[in-house]
Amino acid sequence: MVGLKERAVELARRAAKGAAAAVLHHSGARELLSTVQRRAVGGRRVLLLSYHRVVADFAAEKDRSLYTLNIAQDTFRKHLEVLQQSHDIVSLDDALAVLNGSRQSTRDVAVITFDDGYRDVYTHAFPVMRDMRVPGVVYVPSAFIGTDRVLGHDRLYLALKRMQERGISAMAVGVGGQGERWLIDALAGEPTANVALERLISRYPTPQLLELASTLEDRLGLGSEKFADGQLPMTWEMLREMDASGVITGAHTAEHTVLTNARLADARREIAQCRAVLEKGMKKPVRHFAYCNGYYSAGVAQALRAEGFVSAVTTEDMPNVPGGDPYALKRKVLWEASSAGVLGDYSPALAACQFDDTFGLLAVQKPVMGARPTNFDTAGKASAEKPFSAHG
């Protein structure tokens, strides 16, 4: 079966990590390593956490959506409870003030962020945060708000999963053209659907991937398949209600575009359009940005500065250093398995080690770097080439 070996390796890795976390936590080594890192960065640490969907039941949702984006509501609450034992959970503006030295903190600080604007963040995460009086940021792609549109990566994941379930190869699906070559590349070695999806998103322009999603849906007859309500975007009313309770809205491009795979001129338009729409809808300034897929470049960061943003977050799992670049803020991306122990159940010890970056300090895990070259291409070769025979 597709991905069996990968899954076995992943389960073994998680079990080993859970066992190591228990030893490090209960022996006191975790706290010692935290002290070492605190001295290394020259002050109180600033931890940014990234989530996507917060679901009612992880097991029930696992088989019908991109599960590596999901965390159960109960697990999310437990994350916040453990986090509050070692960190003050603050607004992003307060965290930035700690980093630039204009604000002092007696403890390490943390910021809760969400990417993509999924509706179940409002349904399941927001009640927990409101009850615990925890602020945060939800980064949303502006073109989706208040619609029934489904994000491109969710559409592609469903198509890739159905192809693998039905045993349909990249050539047999009948996409043709450049899209077929992309699928062959993404599915080389029979990876899991989420690995194949990551290959597509990281390598190819977003507009053409949306075309690929539409073509695959047509070829596979997926038009009647329904997505969960929680996968749909939030409405303006939901965003405004969250904002009033301290969970502010940040920008995440207009069409959930990986900006480093776009020409710089197109990236600038995405940034400007997103901010204009969000500020009109929220009726207040929108000052914070999240890079889709965590990829950024010097040119994209400069475009954000020019548009008036004061910060931008990556998905690089590294410490934030006082005085560091506010347009390349580091975040730790978490989901249900991030705190799953040896037996697969929730492990407070592992959660604590995640928040204290214990495994990063021990060099057990290496961050995926998000910096990419700026795409200054003005000829638009990638955009001009027709990717699919069906559309050309």
| Encoded amino acid at 89, one letter | I
Q: Is the pLDDT of residue 387 over 80?
A: no
73-86 and 348-355 helices, crossing angle to 10°: 60
Q: What pLDDT was estimated at residue 222?
A: 94
Of the listed ranges 174-178, 238-242, 353-357, 379-383, the one predicted with least confidence: 379-383
Per-residue pLDDT tens for 358-382?
776 665 667 789 999 998 875 444 3
**CB-based burial of residue 278 (10 Å sphere; 0-12 exposed, 13-18 middle, 19+ buried)?**
buried
Report yes or no on whether pTM surpasses 0.85.
yes
The closest of 238, 250, 212, 241 to 116, measured between CA atoms, is 250
The closest of 335, 284, 311 to 72, measured between CA atoms, is 335
Average pLDDT over residues 6-18: 56
Q: How far apart are CA 392 and CA 385, in angstroms?
A: 10
Of the listed ranges 221-225, 265-269, 270-274, the one predicted with least confidence: 221-225
Q: Is the pLDDT of residue 3 over 60?
A: no
Per-residue pLDDT tens for 285-325?
999 999 999 999 999 999 999 999 999 999 999 889 888 99
Of the listed ranges 3-7, 54-58, 135-139, 285-289, the one predicted with least confidence: 3-7
Rg of the chain over CA atoms, in angstroms? 21
Q: At a CB cut-off of 8 Å and minimum separation 6, what does 102 contact?
A: none
Task: pLDDT band for 134, please (50, 70, 90 cuts).
Answer: very high
Domains of the chain, by residue range, sit at 4-149+228-361, 152-226
Of the listed ranges 17-21, 182-186, 257-261, 318-322, the one predicted with least confidence: 17-21
Query: What is the DSSP track for 272-293?
Result: HHHHHHHHHHHTS---EEE-GG
The closest of 24, 61, 67 to 354, measured between CA atoms, is 24
Of the listed ranges 139-143, 211-215, 263-267, 374-378, the one predicted with least confidence: 374-378
4-149+228-361: CATH topology = TIM Barrel (3.20.20)
Task: pLDDT band for 385, please (50, 70, 90 cuts).
Answer: very low
- Three-state secondary-structure class, residue 340: strand
The closest of 180, 186, 178 to 157, measured between CA atoms, is 186
**Token pair 């969970």: residue:** 247
Neighbours of 12 (CB within 10 A): 10
- Alpha helix segments (H runs only) across the chain: 4-27, 29-41, 58-62, 73-86, 92-100, 119-120, 126-132, 152-166, 177-186, 193-203, 206-220, 236-244, 264-282, 298-307, 348-355, 358-361, 381-384
Q: At a CB cut-off of 8 Å and minimum separation 6, what does 226 contact?
A: none
Q: What pLDDT was estimated at residue 33?
A: 63
Residue pair 173/220 in contact (Cβ under 8 Å)? The answer is yes
Q: How far apart are CA 48 and CA 331, in angstroms?
A: 5
